[in-house]
Homo-oligomer: A and B are copies of this chain.
Amino acid sequence: MKQSQPRPVAKQSVENQTTDNLREFILSGSVQPGARLTEVALADQMGVARATLRTGLQRLASEGIVVQIPYTGWQVADLSVDDVWELWTLRASLESLAAKLAAQSPDPAVREHIANAYDALLAACRRGNMKKISDCDFALHRVIVESAGHSRLARQYQLVEQQVRLYIATSNNVAEGPDDIMEQHRPMAEALLAGDADRAAHEAWQHSESEGKRLLAWLREKASP
């Protein structure tokens, strides 16, 4: 019986806990991009010393989530349209590399995981449940990145995703129909399942690029009413 054992303690320094909690707080959309954060208030709210909190803030600054204003305060990063373009092109480049490496992988489990994730996306699209589609879309991308077997790539991808999430959590994303989503993912998924590395890289780039272009067009339209 599992209940006969106490739960193991997940040891984590206060610095790391503080950093993780702060990151989650910001990425959850609880504060707006551009919002000012002060060490004194946050340290008080989080029940830690200010120096401990500074470690967290500096970590989040290196992740691009906050910006340090010396002697004045900190701000939640506010992404311009150019910033979004940079993040999206970077993400596309990383996805392209991930797709190439995943397609090259000799491990049959890789092919299987990607096929399962793609099938789940197709099933969600046929059911038309947009929340489920979004989840499966995200899951497919994550499986591809994890299948690349490249820890730095996965880490960079996560950092870029975080920053994109910071922006999108405070904006309504452009909605798309299930048929479009299926069609967009088909060439990339086929290349991946066929083990065609160059085509997988190319199609992953095309997919990300078209997605990014649509988002940028929407942002520009929103910025000029």
Which residues of A are interface residues toward B (Cβ below 8 A)? 13, 51, 54-55, 58-59, 62-63, 70, 86-87, 89-90, 93-94, 96-97, 101, 150-153, 156
Contact = CB atoms under 8 A, between A and B. Distances in A.
A97 B89 contact: yes
Q: Specify which of A93, A101, A153 lies most central, judged by the most chain B CB atoms within 10 Å of its CB.
A: A93
Contacts of A94: 93
Q: How many copies make up the complex?
A: 2
Taking chain A's interface residues, is the majority helix, strand, or loop, or is none over half, making it mixed?
helix
A151 B13 CA distance: 33
Contacts of A97: 89-90, 93
Given A13-B70, A51-B51, A54-B55, 5 more contacts: A59-B62, A86-B151, A90-B153, A93-B97, A156-B156
A94 B90 CA distance: 8
A152 B87 contact: yes
